[in-house]
């Protein structure tokens, strides 16, 4: 690959955190609010995980991107302020981490606007968006462009950022692709009766896997985007392994470790081609879920 990174930069890495807290559980099952243990499992993120991860990032002198649902911002405003005070980027992640698959544009617009209003109450106008569960709809880019978002980080069709054309709306935004293999949910997430297989991986194994991916991105001038959740990777041994990973990634020659906002700003100015992602339908009678 020959991506036009800044002079002296061979590849890019971003450490991102989805601060879901209780939102993803309540969106899935509102009655789960009665499950005290499950609620505290999620509250670990803003109460313990975020402060620990902020200390890790401070020691490593790395700025990260935190995707914060509006409900989390409303529930833990001081935690969000602590992220801002450390100089990190805060971006949009829905309001209640709502299920997005197949919803219409009007409902999705309501979720986007409610999340924007919650962040605005803390003085934040986010440049970036990440769809809950990385579940974009074909109309989502238009909604984001209409609201002035500069980038999205939800799609999985590339190793480097690209400019994404709106489907109906004039204009474009930067897409910074992600990968399920670079998400801590697949490695560590487990709660009986709610999520996970019950197999919780060793942080040593996860560090090795992610470092191999970072080195491969570095070799190909790619963009390594790691997604972590504070209620998962904020636990002690996992945070320690993450800090070792950050050290290893920073040591790669020519690796630019920065926020998604910085990557998006560079891409918008350096990449001329605008990509259109077209919907592919199943042929004939096999087609389903047509709009």
How would DSSP label each residue in 208-253?
HHHHHHHHHHHHTT-EEEEEE-HHHHTSHHHHHHHHHHHHHHHTST
Segment 38-67 mean pLDDT: 98
Q: Kindly report the average pLDDT of the chain as a whole number.
A: 95
pLDDT tens digits along 217-244: 999 999 999 999 999 999 999 999 999 9
Segment 113-135 mean pLDDT: 98
Q: What is the pLDDT of residue 101?
A: 94
- CA–CA separation, 267 vs 4, rounded Å? 8
Q: Which two tokens stand for residue 43?
A: 């509250």
pLDDT tens digits along 157-170: 999 999 999 988 88
Q: What is the pLDDT of residue 286?
A: 57
* Residue, of 288 and 187, whose pLDDT is higher: 187
pTM greater than 0.85:
yes
Segment 243-260 mean pLDDT: 98
Residue 249 exposure: Cα atoms within 13 Å on the Cβ side: 32
Judged against a pLDDT cut of 70, whether residue 287 lies above it is answered with no
How far, rounded to the nearest angstrom, does the alpha carbon of residue 194 sit from its chain's CA centroid? 21
Q: Are 54 and 48 in contact (CB under 8 A)?
A: no
Vertex 80: Cα angle to 79 and 84 (nearest 5): 120
- Please count the residues of the chain: 291
Model confidence at 285, pLDDT cuts 50, 70, 90, reads low
**Roughly how many angstroms between the first and final C-alpha of the chain, as a whole number?**
36
Judged against a pLDDT cut of 50, whether residue 291 lies above it is answered with no
Ordered alpha helix ranges (H), the chain: 23-28, 36-44, 50-60, 70-75, 77-85, 105-120, 140-146, 185-188, 203-219, 230-233, 236-250, 260-270
Q: Which two tokens stand for residue 160?
A: 């480097």
Judged against a pLDDT cut of 70, whether residue 280 lies above it is answered with yes
* Residue, of 116 and 279, whose pLDDT is higher: 116
The ranges assigned to domains in the chain are: 11-273
Judged against a pLDDT cut of 90, whether residue 23 lies above it is answered with yes
Q: What is the pLDDT of residue 2?
A: 85
Judged against a pLDDT cut of 60, whether residue 290 lies above it is answered with no
State the fold for domain 11-273: TIM Barrel (3.20.20)
């Amino acid at each position: 690959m020959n991506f036009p990174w800044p002079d002296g930069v061979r590849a890019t890495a971003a450490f991102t955190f989805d601060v879901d807290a209780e939102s993803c559980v309540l969106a899935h099952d509102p009655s789960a609010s009665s499950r005290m243990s499950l609620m505290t499992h999620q509250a670990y993120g803003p109460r313990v995980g975020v402060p620990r991860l902020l200390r890790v990032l401070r020691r490593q002198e790395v700025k990260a991107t935190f995707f914060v649902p509006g409900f989390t911002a409303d529930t833990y405003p001081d935690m969000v302020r602590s992220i801002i005070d450390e100089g990190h980027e805060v971006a949009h992640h829905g309001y209640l981490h709502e299920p997005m698959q197949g919803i219409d544009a009007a409902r999705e617009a309501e979720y986007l606007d409610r999340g924007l209003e919650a962040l605005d109450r803390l003085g934040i106008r986010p440049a970036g968006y990440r769809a809950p569960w990385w579940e974009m709809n074909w109309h989502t880019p238009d909604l984001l462009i209409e609201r002035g978002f500069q980038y999205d980080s939800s799609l999985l069709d590339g190793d480097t950022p690209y400019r994404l054309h709106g489907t109906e709306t004039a204009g474009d935004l930067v897409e910074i692709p992600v990968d399920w293999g670079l998400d801590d949910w697949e490695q560590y997430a487990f709660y009986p009766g709610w999520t996970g297989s019950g197999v919780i991986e060793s942080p040593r194994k996860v560090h090795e896997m992610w470092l191999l991916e970072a080195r491969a991105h570095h070799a190909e001038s790619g963009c390594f985007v790691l997604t972590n959740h504070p209620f998962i990777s904020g636990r002690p041994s996992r945070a320690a392994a993450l800090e070792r990973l950050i050290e290893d990634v920073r040591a790669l020659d020519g690796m630019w470790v920065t926020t998604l906002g910085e990557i998006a700003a560079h891409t918008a100015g350096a990449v001329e081609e605008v990509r259109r992602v077209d919907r592919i339908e199943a042929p004939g009678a096999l087609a389903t879920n047509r709009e």
